[in-house]
Structure 1
Amino acid sequence: MLRTNRVDDAITSGRTAVNAWVTMESTYVAEILSYAGFDAVTIDAQHGMFGRDAIMAMLQAVSAGQASPFVRSPSQDPREIGWLLDAGAYGMIIPDVATREQAEIVSRACFYPPAGTRSLGPTRGTLYAGATYYQDADKVIQVWPQIESKEGYDNMEDIMSTPGLYGVFVGPNDLALSMGLKAGGTMPQQIVDMVHTILERSHAHGLKMAIYCADADEARYWAAEGADLVNPSSDSGLLLTGGREQVAHILGDKAPDRTGEPKAY
Structure 2
Amino acid sequence: MERYRAASLFQPPSLVKALEDTMKLGPGHSTHLMGTIVSIPHTISARTLAVLGYDFVMIDAQHTPIEAENLVRLIQTVSLSSQGRTVPICRVPSTQSHLLTYALDAGAAGIIFPHIDTPEQAAEAVRKCRYAYSGGDRSLAPAVLVPGVTDIAPTGSSHAHVADDNLAVIIQIESPLALENADAIAAVPGVNALMLGAGDLRVAMRLPQQLGVPEDPKLMEAIDRLVRVSRRHQKPLAVVTCKVANTTNEWLKDFQLLMLTSDYLSVVKGHKEDLAQMTKNIAELHGLRN
Q: Normalising to structure 2: TM-score of the pair?
A: 0.78
Label 1:216 to 1:78 Cα distance change in 2 as closer, same or farther (>3 A): closer
> Bigger CA drift: 119-128 or 157-166?
119-128
Aligned to 1:56: 72
Post-superposition offset of 1:254: 7.5
SS in 1 for 2:195: strand
- Summarize deviations over 1:12-53 as a string: whole Å, max 9, x none: 613200121111121010111111111111111110133223
Aligned to 1:207: 235
- Summarize deviations over 1:48-76 as a string: whole Å, max 9, x none: 13322310111121111131011001212
Q: How far apart, CA to CA, are the structure 2 residues paired with 1:126 and 1:210? A: 33
8 Å contact 1:160–1:205 — kept in the other structure? Answer: yes
Q: How far apart, CA to CA, are the structure 2 residues paired with 1:164 and 1:60? A: 24
Q: How far apart, CA to CA, are the structure 1 residues paired with 2:210 and 2:140? A: 40
Post-superposition offset of 1:81: 2.4
Post-superposition offset of 1:6: 5.9
Aligned to 1:259: none
Q: How far apart, CA to CA, are the structure 2 residues paired with 1:126 and 1:176? A: 46
- Summarize deviations over 1:179-198 as a string: whole Å, max 9, x none: 11134745433212211221
Label 1:122 to 1:211 Cα distance change in 2 as closer, same or farther (>3 A): farther
Aligned to 1:106: 125
Q: Is 1:46 the equivalent of 2:62?
A: yes
Q: Is 1:157 the equivalent of 2:166?
A: no
Q: How far apart, CA to CA, are the structure 1 residues paired with 2:250 and 2:36? A: 16
Q: How far apart, CA to CA, are the structure 1 residues paired with 2:53 and 2:16? A: 12
8 Å contact 1:71–1:93 — kept in the other structure? Answer: yes
Amino acid at match of 2:7: L
Label 1:216 to 1:35 Cα distance change in 2 as closer, same or farther (>3 A): farther
- Summarize deviations over 1:105-153 as a string: whole Å, max 9, x none: 0011111114311111275467997522212222210000100111111
Residue among 210, 234, 238 paired with 2:266: 238
8 Å contact 1:16–1:223 — kept in the other structure? Answer: no
Q: Is 1:77 the equivalent of 2:86?
A: no
Instruction: Flag structure 2 segments of 5+ consecutive residues without an equivalent.
Output: 1-5, 154-158, 284-290
Percent identity between matched residues is: 26
Q: How far apart, CA to CA, are the structure 2 residues paired with 1:173 and 1:216? A: 8
Post-superposition offset of 1:222: 6.2
Label 1:91 to 1:223 Cα distance change in 2 as closer, same or farther (>3 A): farther
Q: Is 1:117 the equivalent of 2:134?
A: no
Q: Is 1:90 the equivalent of 2:109?
A: yes
Aligned to 2:216: 188
How many residues were matched structurally?
254
Aligned-residue RMSD, C-alpha: 2.9
Q: How far apart, CA to CA, are the structure 2 residues paired with 1:80 and 1:49? A: 11
Amino acid at match of 1:45: A
SS in 2 for 1:214: helix
Q: Normalising to structure 1: TM-score of the pair?
A: 0.84
Bigger radius of gyration among the two:
2
